[in-house]
Amino acid sequence: MTHHAKKTANMSFSDEVTSRHGGETLTSCYQCGTCASSCPVARLDSSFNPREIIKLSLLGEKEEVLSGDAIWLCCSCFNCQERCPQNVEIADLIYALRNIALEAGHSPNIYSDFASALIAEGRIVQISKFVEKKREEYGLPPLKPVGVEALNKILSATGFTKPEKTEATK
């Protein structure tokens, strides 16, 4: 059991979410739907609706929220958060839900790649020899060393774990 899972074992799901970094504002939602009507993804994909994700979280539908695809479809544009009349920090809330889902073993495989790169290089995009050479040709200064060691210490101190890949790709 992770640190967070131990702490939250006997909590209701909405309490678990509000106890998390980013999830604090969940219970302020009064389901007006301003978020859904501001969402560029909801307009294109009916399987994503931020109001619905909040409703299910408030109703304690933990399994449906954490194992479903919906929480991963937010494009993090912050339109909803900007417009929410109740100041629900919806995009942050979705990060909190993703953090919980990930600890429970649910996440699209791409996050495992991001985490691997971050841990190994201190960057989430690898810099190729080709681009380094191009930089030199353009007269750009050589890249400075990356603080990978400090970064990894911070990741360990905050319980960052690399999500495992699952066979079924979401």
- C-alpha distances out from residue 122 to 10, 105, 111, 144, Å: 36, 24, 15, 12
How many Å apart are CA 52 and CA 67, to the nearest integer? Answer: 15
How many Å apart are CA 148 and CA 118, to the nearest integer? Answer: 8
Work out which of 17, 62, 92, 106 binds other proteins, going by CB under 8 A: 92
Residues of span 23-62 touching other proteins by CB under 8 A:
40-41, 44-45
Per-residue interface string for the shown chain with other proteins, residues 123-142, x marking contact by CB under 8 A: xxxxxx--x--xx--xxxx-
Q: Is residue 68 within 8 Å of 47, Cβ to Cβ?
A: no
Q: For residues 59 and 110, which CB has a smaller minimum distance to other proteins in the complex?
A: 110
Cα–Cα nearest to 37, from 72, 79, 74, 67: 79
Q: State which amino acid sits at residue 56.
A: L
Work out which of 78, 86, 104, 116 binds other proteins, going by CB under 8 A: 78
How many Å apart are CA 50 and CA 89, to the nearest integer? Answer: 11
Q: Is 148 in the site for other proteins (CB under 8 A)?
A: yes
Q: For residues 59 and 146, which CB has a smaller minimum distance to other proteins in the complex?
A: 146
Q: Contact residues for other proteins (CB under 8 A)?
A: 20-22, 40-41, 44-45, 72-73, 75-79, 81-82, 89, 91-92, 95-96, 98-99, 102, 107-108, 110-111, 114-115, 118, 122-128, 131, 134-135, 138-141, 143-148, 150-151, 153-155, 157-161, 163, 170
